[in-house]
Structure 1
């Protein structure tokens, strides 16, 4: 079996320059000049064994969907109704990396009943032909999709589906065809779609990450390969592509540093390709804590309420330089761990006398991806109630730190910090430098959605970038149905459609053929609506303002 889907192998992200002696065709999958996926045979080691063998950043992060199941709010209709600016995405590709797509839905058919999908790479189906240059999944091109649409049972010909519905909804918000009966349509109805259905993460990664097996999440390495696939299709067809990534993760430092951040950042510096990412829906989830200690003895305590049915989860604590923090943990029954001091490599397991809780603590002085301290605490069958964490700086200096719980459905709403902070809740890769990070608002009330992630980043960069409509956005749902989507994922899809319009103006119409994704993002930020006198822009909720394509084009003196 292919190692990338073989559950006996664990996938790790490695730096090609650091581990060149370990790289060969038999044990790696190449991502780009910087990164590869290393496949190692796993013999069910304990969590601490893995922590001692491999760096934290080597383990792929897990990403969750950022939407739960009004175009004129962003100036879209004003532009499309102008005969000189009728931008509907003609000649543009839209890339969707998600839970799949219901290719049979009328939203993805043209007036002749043919598909508007160029290709689908279903990473979860292993009995077909994968895309050229890839080793797993099955690719379905336009020709076979059209053949399936003519068949009595299309799924006998092209068996890919979207059982979740998130991917179908996202794709339709961007580029769904007009439904004459209900008036529902996407932003760019003439664009064509390239879709990647992500496979489920490996069970060994879920186990290592302390994530339940039934959680809705997807692993970083599959996402990176999906980006590589979309990039290759765009180059092959020589067409611009606007990529939507409506997922996020609270794993990581929430700064610019992460493998996926870096990977995507490099892509959007190229001509005619852009990536839009969600700010996340963690703003009101009470899953972020910010702490500071400014006076001797430079200690700080905070509390976490753990819900009754919580079985597995991980907590990350990140401190800034030059602090070196020790940690001591008290369970709800009053039992303490010993003080765990920072080390370059450390992992300590703890069991408790009066309860069945087990925890593993890594207190890493130098997390090699960003050089800062990470305290990683993993819980198995944690006792319900209040857990207390005591931090103390060994440097006898003032310090600040952040703590994050997992995003999305990786943890229940019954587990939360008692004194949370809604700030710095943008999920990754929304903290990257060059990507366009989108948060959501309700155009009817002109207010930010309560769940939308708040900025800024942990290293104080301005993110989110812009705000877009994200409340009850009409969309397609699997099996020919229509519904609506709410959240920053919906806002990200909406914005991806606007980017496709800009690519049509710049590339297809010949106004700026060398435009990069980063250029597009700067135009969107400059053209954002900042007319609301109640706010100072930029700010942690609205970023640089409300998405406004008419404002963008107006500033270009068109």
Structure 2
């Protein structure tokens, strides 16, 4: 392989996999701390350099090499990656793998990935996307009981969700013993919790990790806890039990006794998002785990109607519903009696509302424009702040543009020289800059999923004997119009949450400057699927979308989010908190999505044969615009505010048919 040309097999690997394949074992172990699809052995994880101890550029001698000699055995044997594989023929599956048609989710070593990429039947191998914790705005615990989210009209038909399952895929634990989930006999309405982060216990059928807590386990824990005067959670602990837990709050909104679907059964999956560095390096926390969660809940439902809520997401891929996970979910949602609601995301804020408001760092994740003609350029400003000296996390940008165009790309570091242009079909891999930042650029043509062209850019800390952070400042990204027939492009920065790493230092997200940011198309990539319900956050007091709520449309111009509902200062169960303060308010699309999922649960109680497509149609048909608005779709509020009563009436009419000929008797010859 030369610097310019790659083998056909390597071209079947996503750029991120190519970077991993060209990194030594200790580098990949450090990356596993921030990349959920990577997992290494405990021994290797302990040997890797600490990202939290990163130094600023210029603090060490510039004479050191970028990486040590590649330890091929370590790299091959001690590093595993969760990937999605698209192929023209079925691939041979291992014990950890699963498939849907010609799409497979697989756990492979790096050598296995490279060998598989050499198979002529492989279309592309892509890494799973890293899952990030939701970031709602949390208030203080309170004694103020929430207003019951009862939908009174059509109650005889929907029975508050009797017979329906509400599925919740979330984080931070589920306080199934909270009073909001206990029936009149004191039994929890949770029928199952799959704790994916649990190390020991009964595995769910078909999966080789985590532990299932059954309704019988919960009932026994309640009985025994009374006898020994402890919490039931002491006897049935979960891998995460955070006070004010996100998962508990979400479940309470959708199906608690104070929730929308207050008579439904509740089934939950606790996604593992480890807090400790070493545990992150030795665990998977990626989108294949989300897929497993959906499959588990659908299998658990066993034909019963089920409404699933997901308040997690990423910015990766093309935001057009073509990602492997989006397509897999669309296939699963083709069967009747199933629905998935996904929070649109909290990446809508473009400016601070107060001097110390840093919410815009999470909001400026999208840029886009149009290069008008061949020979013209367009510059983007990419702000890397780190802890304002260096950034110890990996920064990732994806640019997507139309297949009939050809763009080259150049990068200029802060106070540096232009690097490029990198033309279509060219790449620059693990290129060490003077300040030790590792730069990788891949200019790819015709992605197999959607035919669009895309450019991937990675700014990675140097990970040798010592970690050297990415230089903070404004990085310039210049697109050169080589062939322009359309000229439109979109760019997204993968979400990189602020993390306290001690000693006053943080990982801070990178973001677009105010000049480059485009306040649209920030909806989570996962919320762009064809059949899923994408939900935005309404600030009722302001009669507008909340400032943090992500916006549409999708890259291919489809109307997402679909619907908006109240998600500001929503009071629900305070998981694992002080029993004297059982409630807590939160704000975010995470609070809206379960409300809509609960309404859909009631719709399925009225008509269990509804398809996901029909449910979407009903939501759109019955939504009402905000005052002064029209029925046209808008990028922050979708088709309008959800109208639960109207949704239920419409659901009851879907299968009704009335012969009209009686109205014409006597008029026909």
Q: What corresponds to 1:324 in structure 2?
A: 406
CA deviations on 1:226-254 (whole Å, 9 max, x unpaired) are 1110010111xx42110001111100101
Q: 1:274, CA displacement in angstroms?
A: 0.7
Q: What corresponds to 1:417 in structure 2?
A: 513
Give the match's secondary structure for 2:382: strand
**Contact 2:496–2:509, Cα closer than 8 Å, also in 1:** no
- Mapped pair 1:258 → 2:323: yes
1:527 alignment partner, one of 599, 602, 622: 622
Q: What corresponds to 2:103 in structure 1?
A: 35
For 1:125-274, list aligned pairs within 5 A. Answer: 125-152=198-225, 153=230, 154-160=232-238, 162-164=240-242, 165-177=245-257, 185-200=258-273, 218-235=285-302, 238-274=303-339
Q: What is the number of equivalent residue pairs in this alignment?
A: 525
- When structure 1 is superposed on structure 2, of 482-491 and 52-61 the one drifting more is 52-61
Q: 1:332, CA displacement in angstroms?
A: 0.6
For 1:37-76, list aligned pairs within 5 A. Answer: 37-42=105-110, 58-68=126-136, 69=138
Q: 1:347, CA displacement in angstroms?
A: 4.3
Q: 1:283, CA displacement in angstroms?
A: 1.3
In 2 relative to 1, CA 18–412 (structure 1 residues): closer, same or farther, beyond 3 Å?
farther
The CA distance in 2 between the partners of 1:173 and 1:218, in whole Å, is 25
- Mapped pair 1:122 → 2:189: no
- Mapped pair 1:291 → 2:360: no
In 2 relative to 1, CA 67–110 (structure 1 residues): closer, same or farther, beyond 3 Å?
farther
1:541 alignment partner, one of 636, 651, 654: 636
**Greater CA radius of gyration, 1 or 2?**
2
Q: 1:65, CA displacement in angstroms?
A: 4.0
- Mapped pair 1:503 → 2:604: yes
Give the match's secondary structure for 1:497: helix
1:388 alignment partner, one of 471, 476, 479: 476
- Mapped pair 1:93 → 2:200: no
The CA distance in 2 between the partners of 1:107 and 1:63, in whole Å, is 28
5+ long unaligned stretches in structure 1? 178-184, 508-513
**Contact 2:382–2:510, Cα closer than 8 Å, also in 1:** no
Q: 1:5, CA displacement in angstroms?
A: 7.4
The CA distance in 2 between the partners of 1:462 and 1:523, in whole Å, is 15
**Contact 1:67–1:488, Cα closer than 8 Å, also in 2:** no
**Contact 1:76–1:498, Cα closer than 8 Å, also in 2:** no
The CA distance in 1 between the partners of 2:325 and 2:93, in whole Å, is 22
CA RMSD of aligned residues (A): 3.4
Q: 1:554, CA displacement in angstroms?
A: 4.5
The CA distance in 1 between the partners of 2:544 and 2:626, in whole Å, is 14
1:488 alignment partner, one of 589, 592, 598: 589
For 1:272-421, list aligned pairs within 5 A. Answer: 272-284=337-349, 285-309=363-387, 310-311=391-392, 312-343=394-425, 346-353=427-434, 355-380=435-460, 381-407=469-495, 409=497, 412=508, 415-419=511-515, 420-421=517-518
- When structure 1 is superposed on structure 2, of 138-147 and 471-480 the one drifting more is 471-480
For 1:507-518, list aligned pairs within 5 A. Answer: 507=608, 514-518=609-613
How high is the TM-score relative to the length of structure 1?
Answer: 0.86
- When structure 1 is superposed on structure 2, of 311-320 and 414-423 the one drifting more is 414-423
The CA distance in 1 between the partners of 2:241 and 2:275, in whole Å, is 19
Q: 1:352, CA displacement in angstroms?
A: 2.2
**Contact 1:440–1:448, Cα closer than 8 Å, also in 2:** yes
